[in-house]
């Protein structure tokens, strides 16, 4: 489901802490979703379908199935008497109060006089706390403004924000007044984000910000880091420098990723190019290679086909040369390199074409 480009659940904390980040993000190309993000989206869809009455899917891995079953069991713990009325994957928005701002709530419900806003987290990375969780408060504030969810929030005295992140369930009970206070903070941040002088601040909210490579707050830290003489630092300065290093390592990673993404799409990055990674040797066809090697060495030594290098050691022991045409050197991908690198630049054909070719089966 689409999300607002102004602010959403996952970006609310960042925008409140750094209103200037919105304009910076608009200047960088969108990054494709990673494998973990795609898996998370798929598991959210599975939860929605199962809770809508569809049969449990049979094509999940054991780990994925464990996460889904834990999430389903979490609902039994949250609602042991099966009292909760709820909906899943619901579009929530602020209407004209905050035009253009919306998102998708994983589960919104109500048990007697308590509204429930629940968020599934299927990633294995950062642990997410429920207390004062900006994402949960964003969806709750938007839900309170969404006419289709009036039944969940009308006249409630308590609101519970729940994070289900296997193997943990984290819960926080708050009040409608706290959510309204958060809403005012969010509105102020959105208004600030459209000003030319919108403030830019760095902190823990920078971790997943796509604008890190061009952020002046972080590039300023880079300049200070480069100017610092490590041997002259006292212990407190060293501790501060270590904290700075943690931020800069993430910044450096994102700078390289952005440059590689631009080059991969055919955009120039002055002084840099993409070159193929060191190729690894592979069998052209493992079955045909095994047939070609039979008879050259004792068959029991080739019962389990190994890498070309391992087989070459077996052949060398028997003073046999590897037959031609069985091995090919294949690069595992491209990597960023300066123009001075002697390796030739790769010909980029664009992500869409590459994805199309990757789906073709080579006979």
Find the CATH number of the domain harbouring 62: 3.90.320
Residue 26 in this model has a pLDDT that exceeds 60: yes
Residue-wise DSSP of 313-335: HHHHHTT-PPPTTSEEEE---EE
Which pLDDT score, from 0 to 100, does residue 80 have?
Answer: 94
**pLDDT tens across 109-138, in order?**
999 999 999 999 998 767 899 999 999 999
Which pLDDT score, from 0 to 100, does residue 207 have?
Answer: 83
CB 103 within 8 A of CB 44: no
pLDDT tier, 303 (very low <50, low <70, confident <90, very high otherwise): low
Buried b (16+ CB within 10 A) or exposed e, 312-345: bebbeeeeeebeeebbeeeeeebbbbeeeeeeee
Reduced to 3 states, what is the DSSP secondary structure of residue 285?
Answer: coil
In a domain, 76, yes or no: yes
Which pLDDT score, from 0 to 100, does residue 217 have?
Answer: 81
Residues 283 and 260 in one domain: no
Residues 42 and 164 in one domain: yes
Is residue 206 exposed (0-12), middle (13-18) or buried (19+ Cβ within 10 Å)? buried
Residues 220 and 292 in one domain: no
The more confidently predicted of residues 235 and 137 is: 137
Residues 188 and 217 in one domain: no
Which pLDDT score, from 0 to 100, does residue 230 have?
Answer: 62
* Separation of alpha carbons 152 and 156, rounded Å: 8
Name the domain boundary from 221, 244, 264. 264
Residue 354 in this model has a pLDDT that exceeds 60: no
pLDDT tier, 52 (very low <50, low <70, confident <90, very high otherwise): very high
In a domain, 199, yes or no: no
Residues 175 and 29 in one domain: yes
Residues 260 and 283 in one domain: no
In a domain, 61, yes or no: yes
* Separation of alpha carbons 1 and 45, rounded Å: 10
Predicted TM-score (pTM) of the model is 0.66
Residues 189 and 282 in one domain: no
Reduced to 3 states, what is the DSSP secondary structure of residue 254?
Answer: helix
Which pLDDT score, from 0 to 100, does residue 361 have?
Answer: 46
Domain count, the chain: 3
Task: Give percent of the chain with pLDDT exceeding 90.
Answer: 46
User: By residue range, what is the domain housing residue 153?
Assistant: 12-193
Residues 94 and 182 in one domain: yes
In a domain, 3, yes or no: no
Which pLDDT score, from 0 to 100, does residue 362 have?
Answer: 45
Least confident piece of the model among 14-28, 101-115, 144-158, 230-244: 230-244
Q: Do strands 272-276 and 334-338 pair parallel, antiparallel, or not at all (unpaired)?
A: antiparallel
In a domain, 2, yes or no: no
Residues 93 and 123 in one domain: yes
In a domain, 40, yes or no: yes
Residue-wise DSSP of 133-149: -HHHHHHHHHHHH-GGG
Q: Do strands 334-338 and 102-111 pair parallel, antiparallel, or not at all (unpaired)?
A: unpaired
Name the domain boundary from 248, 264, 280. 264
In a domain, 7, yes or no: no
At residue 42, φ and ψ (nearest 5 deg) are -65, -40
At residue 122, φ and ψ (nearest 5 deg) are -100, 0
Residues 288 and 260 in one domain: no
Residues 282 and 161 in one domain: no
């Amino acid at each position: 489901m689409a999300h607002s480009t102004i602010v959403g659940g996952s970006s609310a904390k960042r925008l409140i802490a750094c209103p200037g980040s919105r304009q910076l993000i608009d200047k960088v190309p969108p990054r494709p979703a990673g494998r973990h993000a795609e898996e998370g989206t798929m598991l959210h869809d599975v939860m929605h379908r199962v809770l809508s009455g569809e049969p449990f899917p049979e094509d999940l891995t054991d780990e994925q199935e464990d996460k889904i079953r834990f999430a389903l069991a979490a609902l039994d713990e949250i609602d042991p008497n099966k009292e909760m009325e709820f909906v899943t994957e619901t579009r929530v928005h602020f209407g004209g109060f905050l035009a253009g701002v919306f998102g998708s709530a994983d589960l919104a419900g109500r048990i007697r006089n308590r509204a429930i806003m629940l968020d599934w987290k299927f990633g294995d990375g950062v642990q997410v706390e429920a207390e004062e969780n900006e994402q949960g408060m964003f969806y709750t504030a938007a839900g309170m403004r969404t006419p289709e969810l009036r039944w969940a929030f009308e006249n409630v005295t308590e609101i519970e924000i729940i994070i289900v992140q296997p193997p943990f369930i984290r819960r926080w009970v708050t009040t409608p007044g706290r959510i309204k206070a958060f809403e005012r903070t969010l509105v102020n941040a959105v208004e600030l984000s459209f000003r030319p002088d919108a403030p830019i601040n760095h902190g823990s909210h920078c971790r997943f910000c796509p604008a890190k490579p061009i952020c002046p707050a972080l590039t300023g830290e880079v300049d200070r880091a480069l100017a610092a003489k490590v041997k002259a630092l006292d212990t407190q300065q060293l501790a501060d420098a270590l904290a700075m290093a943690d931020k800069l390592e993430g910044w450096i990673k994102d700078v390289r990723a952005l440059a590689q993404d631009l080059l991969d799409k055919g955009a120039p990055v002055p002084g840099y190019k993409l070159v193929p990674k060191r190729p690894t040797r592979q069998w052209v066809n493992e079955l045909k290679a095994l047939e070609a090697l039979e008879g050259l060495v004792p068959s029991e030594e080739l019962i389990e086909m190994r890498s070309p290098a391992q087989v070459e050691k077996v052949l060398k022991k028997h003073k046999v040369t590897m037959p031609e045409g069985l091995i090919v050197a294949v690069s595992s991908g491209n990597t960023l390199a300066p123009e001075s690198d002697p390796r030739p630049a790769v010909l980029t054909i664009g992500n869409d074409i590459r994805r199309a070719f990757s789906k073709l089966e080579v006979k």
